[in-house]
Structure 1
Amino acid sequence: MSEWTWDESLYAGGAEHYPVGRMAYPEALGETLRDELGLDGQGRLLDVGCGPGSLTLLLAPYFKAAVGVDADADMLTVAAGRADDAGIINAEWHQLRAEQLPGELGAFEVVTFAQSFHWMDQPLVARLVRGMLAPGGRWVQVRASTHRGLDGADELPLPRPPWDGIDALVARYLGPVRRAGRGVRVIETLPDEEEVMKAAGYEGPTRLIVGGDEIEDRTVDQVVAAVFSLSSSTPHLFGARLPEFEAELRELLTSTADDGLFAERRREIELVIWS
């Protein structure tokens, strides 16, 4: 099997599902970064691999300007619409891959990566972003998993989504090897991120934990959207069988929760900060 390489279909069809299916980042994430980095409404933020702007829009009020970049045009369309709906006027959006930085975007006080750095040529992107940081600037990686909560046997107010069954259903349609764009992606050992960052000249890191353990209610529609928000099960991968898959998925979910409601215990979020 050849090594996986990025292609533009990685999240094709997933943009509209992402804001519905992914649990929102908590306000505490922005407050923690505000306090740790001394954010005061000045300076510029660059959010790399911003998707539909989930982190960009949360952090935008702490900066004079916020810039989101992503390779997927549909993600940026959704992000711009969400910014308009929220009345956020200091955000702008650019379609480009991280490997194409700096893209004449200028310098930034903070550059963030939220659930995105693993898709990139990490040594290259680390070097490129290093040259974009303003004096005293910080790199912030947001390590999170927001499409599903923690597994566990502890009792919740509502049943958990049947994620094992969902995973088995996806595998029945798409095969046992994780899909990614036009190819498949075998679970592999990524470069050691600390080595990558230190080799690029960064110092640190500082690690902070935000949230975790909160219980969040989820609907059938939200869980379906969570599945379609994943690169491994984005809608285009199912082709003509998409309606059949979605019907089976909804049947699985409604058979688990008669009233169509689930509960999940949120995962903690780790902030990894480099200077």
Structure 2
Amino acid sequence: MTDAWEWDPSLYSGSAGYYARGRAAYPPELAEAFVAEVGLDGTGRLLDVGCGPGSLTLLLAGSFEEAVGLDADEDMLAEARRLARDANCRWVHRRAEELPAGLGRFRLVTFAQSFHWFDRAKVAAAVRGMLAPGGACAHVHATTHEGVEGSVPRREIAELVQAYLGSVRRAGQGTLPAGTPRGETEIYRGAGFRGPRRFTVPGRVVTRTVDEVVAGVFSLSSAAPHLFGARRAEFEAGLRALLERASPAGVFTERLGEIAVDVWEP
């Protein structure tokens, strides 16, 4: 991520309604692994930072007294509230950089496909100070919008997006020519964390419809609906035509990659 790029509220503008439909849900096995590996027993509190529509928050909420999902996108939180129903969740509209924000202490803080959007050193330091005795931070490595192999024509979809938006990755009002930053290990250790201790959950095969694949594309910051402007309907029509050519039956299968979780202790 270049020094010139700055977060702005349009990063996922228009994507919230597509996110839960277009991305594969985290499997129950991930929640079971968290219980076994972190020793969750229904006590304490969870903070999911950059929670989006609550994909991980809702999966883990039952293992805590309270789950708090924090996100900078109000539309994402509205979708999370809709999906949560009676879950023991609280939703907070704030940027991660505003932590600790008076939210208290937590047994577990999670980052799932979100850490790269933040001022990572600042957020990691804040989170370390928010952990209760014996608490931990978990960084979830996962890709839920696409698989590692399958029948979805991913290369053709990427080419179509580039035909409309250009070859340089878009992100909000800016661009990310080199993609999002890596090297989170150094960031966590620089903030005083020890580790990581890693556990994994195997990938699985999922089936997707045309509507779900389209939703998955619009769930990406690099293809958020607002980026297409007045050509959004034209792009979607072209995307659907591409998918219908690839599968007249309108059904696709993909094998998702494994999910890896790094557990960091203060």
Question: Scaled by the length of structure 1, what TM-score is found?
Answer: 0.94
Distance 1:189 1:223, change over 3 A: closer
Deviation at 1:2, TM superposition (A): 6.8
Paired residues of 1:26 and 1:211 also in contact (CA < 8 A): no
Deviation at 1:193, TM superposition (A): 1.6
Structure 2 CA distance, aligned partners of 1:50 and 1:195?
A: 23
Q: Per the alignment, in what secondary structure is the counterpart of residue 92 of structure 1?
A: strand
Paired residues of 1:141 and 1:272 also in contact (CA < 8 A): yes
Which residue of structure 1 aligns with residue 134 of structure 2?
A: 136
Paired residues of 1:10 and 1:182 also in contact (CA < 8 A): yes
Structure 1 CA distance, aligned partners of 2:171 and 2:180?
A: 16
| Code of the aligned partner of 1:211 | P
Structure 2 CA distance, aligned partners of 1:160 and 1:177?
A: 26
Which residue of structure 2 aligns with residue 251 of structure 1?
A: 241
Give the alignment partner of residue 174 of structure 2, picking from 179, 183, 194: 183
| Code of the aligned partner of 2:241 | E
Distance 1:259 1:191, change over 3 A: closer
1:73-103 deviation digits (Å, cap 9, x = unpaired): 000000000001xx31x10000111100011
Percent identity of the aligned residues? Answer: 55
Deviation at 1:192, TM superposition (A): 2.2
Which residue of structure 1 aligns with residue 79 of structure 2?
A: 78
| Code of the aligned partner of 2:242 | L
Structure 1 CA distance, aligned partners of 2:80 and 2:61?
A: 12
1:4-23 deviation digits (Å, cap 9, x = unpaired): 11000000000000000000
| Code of the aligned partner of 1:58 | L
Give the alignment partner of residue 222 of structure 1, picking from 184, 204, 212: 212
1:167-202 deviation digits (Å, cap 9, x = unpaired): 000000000000000111111573522221111111
| Code of the aligned partner of 1:115 | Q
Which residue of structure 2 aligns with residue 203 of structure 1?
A: 194
Deviation at 1:3, TM superposition (A): 1.4
1:216-271 deviation digits (Å, cap 9, x = unpaired): 11100000000000000010000000000000000000000001000001111010
Which residue of structure 1 aligns with residue 254 of structure 2?
A: 264
Q: Per the alignment, in what secondary structure is the counterpart of residue 16 of structure 2?
A: coil
Which residue of structure 1 aligns with residue 160 of structure 2?
A: 169
After TM superposition, the structure 1 = structure 2 runs for residues 2-81 of structure 1, keeping only pairs within 5 Å, are 3-81=4-82
| Code of the aligned partner of 1:164 | R
Q: Per the alignment, in what secondary structure is the counterpart of residue 253 of structure 2?
A: strand
| Code of the aligned partner of 2:228 | F
Distance 1:149 1:69, change over 3 A: same
Structure 1 CA distance, aligned partners of 2:180 and 2:59?
A: 31
Structure 2 CA distance, aligned partners of 1:191 and 1:149?
A: 20
Deviation at 1:209, TM superposition (A): 1.0
Structure 1 CA distance, aligned partners of 2:181 and 2:212?
A: 30
Q: How many residues align?
A: 264
Structure 2 CA distance, aligned partners of 1:167 and 1:121?
A: 28
Which residue of structure 2 aligns with residue 92 of structure 1?
A: 90
| Code of the aligned partner of 2:105 | A
Question: Scaled by the length of structure 2, what TM-score is found?
Answer: 0.97
| Code of the aligned partner of 1:266 | L
Gaps of 5+ in 1: 152-158
Which residue of structure 2 aligns with residue 155 of structure 1?
A: none
Deviating above 2 A after TM superposition, structure 1's stretches of 4 or more consecutive aligned residues are 188-192
Gaps of 5+ in 2: none
Deviation at 1:211, TM superposition (A): 2.0
